[in-house]
Chain A
Amino acid sequence: MISVKNIQVVFGKGTPLQKQALNGVDLTIEQGSFVTVIGSNGAGKSTLLGVLAGDVLPSAGEVTIGKTDVTRKGTAARAGLVARVFQDPLTGSCGALSIEENLALAAKRGEARGLTAALGPKRREHFRERIAELNLGLENRMGDRMDLLSGGQRQAVSLVMATLAGSEVLLLDEHTAALDPGMAEFVMNLTQKIVSERRLTTMMVTHSMRQALDYGHRTIMLHGGEIVLDVAGDSRKELQVEDLIAMFRRIRGQTLDDDALLIG
């Protein structure tokens, strides 16, 4: 379960560039629920994800993941609760390490790391099996450096990495945005499979309205650091991409009007 209460995030406080990235966001995501998040650039999507991941510490409010209050915990300290796939395939995995070393690193997420060999025969076999499930032929390249893989392959491996160790939530940060359409579909299908098989509480930030409506149980739209739309169930099923676009236009129009009022 994820619960955020009255989150305030301000960047560049006290400078001319001060920006209220999140303004009093309240959100509860139930155990096992898959929520998609959309919004225009600067709406606060990435900031919200950062608040959950620990990259951004809010100036006010509370963040709870599972049963743990993580409001003041940094990324590393809460990594045992949070699995994450980044937008940039280069960020989510370590190019200089081999595929199996990356997996070994991820398998110990949130645990103490001792002096046991990272790649014993048992672990090797386990990693190989997990990678073989991808059907990408990577199980024969376990010793290859990660930076020899394509972006799509790296994202697929990153998804496996995210599920090797247990976690309360899975955070997906536009994780198909950097991929070609074919590979993006493959990674999305894989995501769907992993999330439903493991009943993971998931939050996926996306630029694609299609993805936002096609996947998951609930869709949230952010604008100006606030939640402006929150749909689930039947009303979400009836929602079309066109409706979302219309909503986007309307919200943008409103802010324009507001600005006009201010200037006038």
Chain B
Amino acid sequence: MSLIAFWGAVELGLVYAFVALGVFLAFRVLDFPDLTVDGSFPLGAAVTAVLIIAGVNPWLAACVAMVAGAAAGIVTAMLNVRFKILNLLASILTMIALFSVNLRVMGKPNVALINADTMLSPFYGLGLRDFYVRPLFIGVLVVIAVIVVWRFLESDAGLAMRATGANARMARAQGVDTNRQIYLGMAISNALVAFGGALFAQTNGFADVTSGVGTIVVGLAAVIIGETLLGARGILIALIGCVLGSILYRIAIQLALSTDMLGLQASDLNFVTAALVTFALILPRLRRGGAA
């Protein structure tokens, strides 16, 4: 693997760290199996791309993308909480609806951002080579996101959200409006995912309606790899695990695809992903079996 390919993998891992953080909030904190992310990731990309082309400031465009993602999360939450649709099914409905929404937002399946100003533009040409600038820049944003999510989950409000996912009956007896927590959690989760999509569009120079396929698997893979490596040792460690898992996942994929020996090609990506996630799921079991 070349240096550029390695840092490219790190960069993509950091972009998807936002997805991993969102997936962690939904699956682990709220215990809500949310597939909306397959739609909210390209939604974030689409909104950002269209706005940037329309001349909007790229930071503002990313913020609007987050609002759009939050709205998508709220729709899923509403289908579940208000209309009592099974959580998984509710998220699938939103996800497939978003495919059409994303096409409408972009007006075509693919929008290119070549030569447009992005959040990264001011940092290119400061002396560092581009393939260092991108992971460094995104890395700083990831660190900020981890700290914010961590402080939130350890606050009174965050504790209420964690209790909602872990023991809803107890949470209600403690005065927590569990329905509101689901709305709030799904909004934050999908806002993070959409921000990941916004970054994806700005670093890769395009938004594509199909770029969302399998986002949930990638996010979940990152969460599970993180848990497997770092174990359950508190919120901060779990969040760092999400980021680490996301980066390692990308490096593993890059390794698998760039090793000629295995004879894999780019189209084998989804199979490799499934194999990796399966391995990460089985590994803790194997370890326990070995210890016993």
Interface of A toward B, CB cutoff 8 Å: 53, 74-77, 79-80, 82, 84, 86, 90-97, 101, 104-106, 108-111, 113-119
* 7 contacts across the A-B interface (CB closer than 8 A): A76-B175, A76-B177, A105-B159, A105-B163, A113-B157, A116-B156, A118-B158
Q: Given the known inter-chain contacts A75-B172, A101-B159, please indicate yes or no for A118 contacting B154, CB distance below 8 A.
A: yes
Q: Which of B159, B167, B173, B178 contacts A113 (CB 8 A)?
A: B159
How near does chain B come to A53, taking the closest CB pair, in angstroms?
A: 7
Q: Given the known inter-chain contacts A94-B167, A97-B163, please indicate yes or no for A108 contacting B156, CB distance below 8 A.
A: yes
* Complex-state Cα separation, A193 to B160, whole angstroms: 29
* B250 interfacial contact with A, CB 8 Å: no
B172 touches A79 (CB 8 A): yes
* Complex-state Cα separation, A115 to B151, whole angstroms: 8
**Residue on A nearest B174 in the bound complex, by CB:** A109
A95 CB contacts on chain B under 8 angstroms: 166-167
Interface of B toward A, CB cutoff 8 Å: 151-152, 154-160, 162-163, 166-167, 169-178
A86 CB contacts on chain B under 8 angstroms: 170, 173
How near does chain B come to A258, taking the closest CB pair, in angstroms?
A: 37
* Complex-state Cα separation, A84 to B171, whole angstroms: 12
Select the residue from B151, B156, B178 with max chain A CB neighbours within 10 A.
B156
A115 touches B156 (CB 8 A): yes
Select the residue from A53, A75, A93, A117 with max chain B CB neighbours within 10 A.
A75
A118 CB contacts on chain B under 8 angstroms: 154-156, 158-159
B155 touches A115 (CB 8 A): yes
A116 CB contacts on chain B under 8 angstroms: 155-156
A97 touches B173 (CB 8 A): no
A109 CB contacts on chain B under 8 angstroms: 174-175
How near does chain B come to A95, taking the closest CB pair, in angstroms?
A: 7
* Complex-state Cα separation, A91 to B167, whole angstroms: 7
* Complex-state Cα separation, A11 to B23, whole angstroms: 39
**Residue on A nearest B173 in the bound complex, by CB:** A84
A79 touches B155 (CB 8 A): no
B175 CB contacts on chain A under 8 angstroms: 76, 79-80, 108-111
Q: Which of A76, A79, A90, A114 contacts B156 (CB 8 A)?
A: A114
